[in-house]
Amino acid sequence: MPELPEVETVRRGLTGPLVGHCLARVIVRRGDLRRPLPADFAERLSGRTVTAIDRLAKYLLFRFDNGTVLIAHLGMSGRMVRAAAGTPPAIHTHVIFETDAGSAVHFNDPRRFGLMALTSDNRVHDHELVRHLGPEPLDGAFDGAVLSAALAGRAAPIKALLLDQRIVAGLGNIYVCESLYRSRISPRRRGASVAGARAHRLVTAIQEVLNDAIAAGGSSLRDYVQADGELGYFQHGFAVYDRAGEACPSGGPDHVIRRIVQSNRSTFYCPKCQV
DNA sequence: AACAAGACCTGCATGC
DNA sequence: TGCATGCAGGTCTTGT
């Protein structure tokens, strides 16, 4: 589910309830997530104060007063939902964080593709989960030259390459489709042919799409809600995602959005606008 | 090395 | 109503 804008929205929503607060109690109800939680997970976090919550691509980094860092990924169906302490956990709530202020955050993940791991401040960026990540798309260092260098020599379709977190970190299926539409680039185009002005256009489109989505609180499809339980509303702004058979927003005659499958994932695009 | 395809797990919509 | 099938926002591993 959650791509960069959704994770960023969750981060912002958790900052109020958690940052500056001590975790009075951490309850692991089910530890067999994508990677098993360490046996001492709850013990290592209990009594610690959250000093900051950062985002690295689609990962959340919870920093604690003793230098411990909790790395969390929401997978496809993971949610972090705010609740009052003592609220009975919903089905699929696997971990509960209760603060000294009487509020709680429930980690709920039906498919259990999410994960959490513990490390420390000085080792975060070397951690195996995040070590391979490419540039942050909203970072100033990410530009057309950086992107085309990463795409040089690549024969795979640009759609598949943009999903590769080593090339750019944080995009998923929705925002790749939307960015390619916005930059009028065909998802089937070979990676290496995206260079120069075309790469620049793509970077601009990626940044615009992500910023628009963050401003809208992310996209709510099946599972995603913000930390406060509110729905994001960027899904109403999709130009192509999940709109197969509908008219392309360009309004061009006979412009119909098409669905194809690439690398076993759905791709939505306008074959007339995107070349 | 680069790429494609399958696997992981659960819920939901669809069609018979 | 029940059952089978296919699909879903993400990685990770395996095989060519």
d(CA A15, CA A34): 25
Q: Look at residue A190 in the predicted model and tell me its pLDDT.
A: 96
What residues contact A172, with CB distance under 8 A and at least 6 apart? A2, A3, A4, A58, A163
Q: Are strands A79-84 and A50-56 parallel, antiparallel or unpaired?
A: unpaired
- pLDDT interval class at A199 (50, 70, 90): very high
Residue A111 CA to B10 C1' — how many Å?
5
A73: burial class by Cβ within 10 Å (0-12, 13-18, 19+)?
Answer: buried
Average pLDDT on A149-170 reads 96
Residue A49 CA to B13 C1' — how many Å?
44
Asked if strand B comes closer than 7 Å to A157 Cβ, the answer is yes
Average pLDDT on A181-208 reads 97
| Residue matched to tokens 């075309």 | A198
Distances in whole angstroms, Cα of residue A135 to Cα of each of A132, A150, A203: 10, 10, 12
Q: For residue A223, how many C-alpha atoms fall within 13 Å in the half-sphere facing its CB?
A: 19
Q: Look at residue A224 in the predicted model and tell me its pLDDT.
A: 47
What residues contact A35, with CB distance under 8 A and at least 6 apart? A115, A117
CA of A157: nucleotide with nearest C1': B3
Q: Is A208 a catalytic residue?
A: no
Q: Look at residue A232 in the predicted model and tell me its pLDDT.
A: 84
- Mean pLDDT (chain A, rounded): 94
**pLDDT tens track for A49-102:** 999 999 999 999 999 999 999 999 999 999 999 999 999 999 999 999 999 999
Q: Look at residue A226 in the predicted model and tell me its pLDDT.
A: 56
- pLDDT interval class at A249 (50, 70, 90): very high
Helix axes A196-215, A4-18, angle to 10 degrees: 40
Q: Which amino acid is at A272?
A: K
Residue A133 CA to B1 C1' — how many Å?
18
Residue among A2, A5, A135, A187 flagged as catalytic: A2
- pLDDT interval class at A158 (50, 70, 90): very high
- pLDDT interval class at A230 (50, 70, 90): low
Q: Look at residue A231 in the predicted model and tell me its pLDDT.
A: 75
Whether the pLDDT of residue A227 is over 70: the answer is no
CA of A109: nucleotide with nearest C1': B10
Residue A197 CA to B10 C1' — how many Å?
43
**H/E run at residue A172:** none
Residue A157 CA to C14 C1' — how many Å?
21
Q: What 3-state DSSP class applies to A207?
A: helix
Find and give the residue nearest to C9, measured CA to C1': A1
Q: Look at residue A236 in the predicted model and tell me its pLDDT.
A: 87
pTM value is: 0.96
Asked if strand B comes closer than 7 Å to A172 Cβ, the answer is no
Average pLDDT on A212-225 reads 79
Q: Is A48 a catalytic residue?
A: no
Within A 199-258, residues with CB less than 7 Å from strand B: 222
Whether the pLDDT of residue A225 is over 60: the answer is no
Q: A261's torsion region: left (phi>0), alpha (psi -120 to 50) or beta?
A: beta
